[in-house]
């Protein structure tokens, strides 16, 4: 609720800014501001376009920047009513000369700075985050990535070493590993898929598994291995070179990295050219600001993949 209120306040400030700017225009809003734009309402002769309504929905976090908004939907009607209200409030504020108040001028200037800054960032990012750049960074990082061997295996976890030996004997007589896993395994995570662990590199496994599977060969039955909850018999299904993360899976992280990288580069250049003076000094012992938690430190394709990511592959 607080976020929505803040967004509405910003929307009103922007509407005020637009209203102020409009005072010098002679109804120059008859042409669509964007290709394919459609007029959906008029307030005292001023046109409201579908793009205005979508922008309000994005500002309130109700849709993403690139998501469509159906003009026949209830959400569109709600957002259009809010844009109309903003236009009316802005016009009345101008009539009362609130836009001449020094505090209002500062807030309008701040809103203008924010809008122009956001537009510059959007344009800068759109130039950087292209399909060509995404693929280029992905391919570059794949060349640099170090790949180790990965294993696909199945397991049956039982309570005691004696139980494991009994299962081993049954396997020796031709019993199905998958059926025995479903019937006897104590591991709830893998029991009902025939004990399948998927593909993994041994370094992400518990120590006992890592040691036992270090030089494993395809088709080998290993164990019993002492593990949490008992003893495991592990059958190696396949051994192969570690597979790269697919481009589609890496894309969101690459886009985020390119975005941060380009914005950081832009700000560094602007600060280098500008004369910036801090008029207050940091307090003694104050901590330096840290980057956002989701700010990528390096191109994601070059980073070690997590156990969760590996387990998702097959």
Which pLDDT does position 96 carry in this prediction?
92
The span from the CA of 155 to the CA of 231, in Å, is 10
Question: If you average pLDDT over residues 126-141, what whole number do you get?
Answer: 82
218-227: long-range contacts (C-beta < 8 A, 24 or more apart)? 221/168, 221/171, 223/164, 223/168, 224/158, 224/161, 224/164, 224/165, 224/168, 226/161, 227/157
Cβ-contact 221, 171 below 8 angstroms? yes
Q: Could you give all domains of the chain from N- to C-terminal order, each with its CATH number? A: 2-23+30-110 (no CATH), 154-241 (3.10.50.40)
Provide CB contacts within 8 A for 181, sequence distance 6+: 154, 155, 156, 190, 191, 194, 195
Which pLDDT does position 14 carry in this prediction?
41
Q: How confident is the model at residue 203 (pLDDT cuts 50, 70, 90)?
A: confident
Which carries the bigger pLDDT value, residue 168 or residue 15?
A: 168
Which carries the bigger pLDDT value, residue 18 or residue 226?
A: 226
The span from the CA of 250 to the CA of 295, in Å, is 15
Which pLDDT does position 12 carry in this prediction?
43
| Dihedral class, residue 311 (left if φ above 0, else alpha if ψ from -120 to 50, else beta) | alpha
Provide CB contacts within 8 A for 110, sequence distance 6+: 13
pTM attached to this predicted model: 0.48
List the one residue out of 145, 113, 141 whose CA is nearest residue 258. Answer: 141
Which pLDDT does position 27 carry in this prediction?
41
Which pLDDT does position 24 carry in this prediction?
37
């Amino acid at each position: 609720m607080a976020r929505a209120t803040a967004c509405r306040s910003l929307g009103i400030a922007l509407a005020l800014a637009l209203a102020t700017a409009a005072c010098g225009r002679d109804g120059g809003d008859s042409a669509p501001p964007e290709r394919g734009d459609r007029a959906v309402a008029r307030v005292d002769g001023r046109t409201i376009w579908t793009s205005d309504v979508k922008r309000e929905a994005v500002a309130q976090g109700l849709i993403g920047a690139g998501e469509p908004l159906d003009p026949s939907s209830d959400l569109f009607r709600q957002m259009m009513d809010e844009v109309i209200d903003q236009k009316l409030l802005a016009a009345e504020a101008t009539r009362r000369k609130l836009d001449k108040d020094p505090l209002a001028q500062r807030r309008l200037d701040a809103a203008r700075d924010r809008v122009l800054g956001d537009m510059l960032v959007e344009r800068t990012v759109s130039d950087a985050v292209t399909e060509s750049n995404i693929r280029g960074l992905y391919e570059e990082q794949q060349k640099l990535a170090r790949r180790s061997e990965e294993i696909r295996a199945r397991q049956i976890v039982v309570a005691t070493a004696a139980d494991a030996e009994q299962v081993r004997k049954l396997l020796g007589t031709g019993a199905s590993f998958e059926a025995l896993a479903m019937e006897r395994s104590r591991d709830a995570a893998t029991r009902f898929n025939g004990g399948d662990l998927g593909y993994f590199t041994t370094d992400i496994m518990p120590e006992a598994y890592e040691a036992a599977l270090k030089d494993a060969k395809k088709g080998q039955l290993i164990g019993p291995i002492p593990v949490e909850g008992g003893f495991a018999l592990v059958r190696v299904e396949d051994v192969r070179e570690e597979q790269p993360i697919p481009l589609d899976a890496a894309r969101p992280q690459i886009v985020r990295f390119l975005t941060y990288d380009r914005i950081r580069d832009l700000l560094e250049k602007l600060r280098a050219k500008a004369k910036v003076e801090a008029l207050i000094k940091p307090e003694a012992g104050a901590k330096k600001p840290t980057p956002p938690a989701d700010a990528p430190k390096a191109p994601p394709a070059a980073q070690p993949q997590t156990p969760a990511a590996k387990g998702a592959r097959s």
